[in-house]
């Protein structure tokens, strides 16, 4: 016959095991992976946000079963520093994995590279393809010149000042924010190129000229010479007759299809430098450092014309007279058809 004290101990042990087992099952369930509502969920943790606030946000997003699940993990690592930023979480992660990502600061961002010579339409297409920023949103932001008024009050848009470089954007970066980042990069590069402040009209002229140079040649060695050709033509009040300006005019009117037509050359659009003397109203692309340098310091010389070489080098043949230019054009056509 079993004594009562032993019976009580036996039931006490069983009860303890049941409680511990229940706690273990509950803990496993709460601290186990959660099937989130979406395949990926973005969470923005602001600087100074408390652990309870982070836990509440994670619970609201369905990333943890309860806010206390995250706080329980936090209690195990009380000295860990949780880092601000935007995070991307997959469809199924444990509170431990989520905490560890925030502790390590594994912030989500997309890397986008904008090549030199890209215009705002090119940039919009790149962003649409590789980031969360919509092309239409970027074009709307780029069309507003307010952000560059301090440097160029007469700028018709942000074109020319959206500096070509590599940028990191998050899921929540807006088109306006990216434009400000690109303009900030332009400011930084411009200060290096021009330690002495230039008047606003001169800045507008230089950046516009640099955009033409950027679109006309991909060879750094040629850029000061191309800048010289355009500068000489401007001095003589000759039309620049720059094909890329004609293309840009067609782009603005939403009619460019990759080919220049005769109708484009006679277009009355102010960006068409076949129909209008002088520089266009503003830049036609976003130049890099080398083209900006060339526009600031054109090469000496009296060249007025250039035509592409037929050797596939990407270079040009520069001439000073119309007769020389016509001969160079004839040589180019003859070589191209051989």
The helix/strand count (H/E) of the chain reads as 13, 6
| Residue 287: Cβ within 10 Å count | 31
Q: What is the C-alpha to C-alpha distance for residues 156 and 30, in angstroms, rounded to an integer?
A: 57
Angle at which helices 67-76 and 4-31 cross, to 10°: 100
Q: Say what the pTM is.
A: 0.80
Structural domain boundaries in the chain: 37-108, 114-193, 206-336
C-alpha angle 227-182-294 in degrees, rounded to nearest 5: 15
Alpha-carbon distance 226 to 232, whole Å?
10
Decide if 297 contacts 209 (C-beta within 8 A).
no
Fold for the domain defined by 37-108: Dna Ligase; domain 1 (3.30.1490)
Which two tokens mark 174? Answer: 């807006």
In sign, the C-alpha dihedral spanning 79, 80, 86, 90 is negative
DSSP 3-state of 185:
helix
Contact (Cβ atoms closer than 8 angstroms) between residue 283 and residue 154: no
Residues 299, 314: Cα–Cα separation, whole Å:
19
* Per-residue pLDDT tens digits of the chain, which is 338 residues long: 555 555 555 444 434 433 333 334 334 444 555 655 667 888 899 999 999 999 999 999 888 888 888 999 999 999 999 999 898 888 778 899 999 999 999 988 889 999 999 999 999 999 999 998 999 999 999 999 999 999 999 999 999 999 999 999 988 899 999 999 999 999 999 999 997 789 999 999 999 999 999 999 999 999 999 999 999 999 999 999 999 999 999 999 988 888 888 888 888 999 999 999 999 999 999 999 999 999 999 999 999 999 988 887 889 999 999 999 989 888 888 877 66
List Cα–Cα distances, 35 to 42, 293, 314, 328, in angstroms: 15, 55, 55, 69
């Amino acid at each position: 016959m079993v004594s009562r004290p032993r019976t009580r101990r036996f039931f006490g042990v069983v009860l303890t095991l049941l409680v511990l087992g229940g706690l273990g099952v509950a803990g496993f369930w709460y601290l186990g992976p959660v099937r989130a509502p979406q395949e990926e969920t973005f969470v923005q943790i602001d600087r100074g946000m408390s652990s309870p606030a982070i836990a509440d946000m994670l619970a609201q997003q369905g990333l943890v079963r309860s806010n206390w699940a995250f706080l329980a993990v936090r209690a195990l690592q009380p000295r860990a520093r949780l880092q601000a930023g935007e995070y991307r979480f997959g469809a199924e992660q444990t509170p431990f994995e989520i905490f560890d990502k925030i502790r390590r600061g594994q912030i989500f961002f997309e890397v986008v590279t904008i090549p030199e010579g890209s215009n705002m339409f090119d940039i919009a297409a790149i962003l649409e393809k590789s980031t969360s920023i919509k092309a239409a949103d970027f074009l709307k932001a780029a069309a507003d010149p307010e952000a560059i008024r301090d440097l160029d009050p007469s700028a018709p848009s942000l074109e020319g000042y959206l500096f070509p470089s590599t940028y990191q954007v998050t899921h929540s970066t807006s088109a306006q924010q990216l434009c400000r980042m690109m303009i900030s990069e332009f400011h930084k590069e411009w200060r290096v190129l021009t330690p002495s402040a230039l008047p606003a009209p001169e800045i507008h002229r230089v950046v516009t000229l640099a955009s033409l140079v950027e679109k006309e040649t991909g060879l750094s060695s040629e850029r000061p010479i191309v800048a010289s050709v355009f500068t000489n033509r401007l001095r003589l009040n000759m039309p620049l007759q720059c094909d890329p300006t004609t293309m840009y005019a067609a782009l603005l009117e939403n009619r460019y299809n990759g080919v220049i037509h005769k109708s484009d050359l006679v277009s009355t659009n102010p960006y068409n430098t076949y129909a209008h003397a002088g520089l266009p109203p503003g830049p036609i692309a976003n130049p890099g450092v080398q083209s900006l340098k060339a526009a600031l310091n054109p090469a000496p010389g009296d060249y007025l014309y250039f035509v592409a070489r037929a050797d596939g080098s990407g270079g040009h043949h520069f001439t000073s007279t119309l007769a020389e230019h016509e001969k160079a054009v004839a040589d180019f056509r003859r070589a191209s058809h051989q």
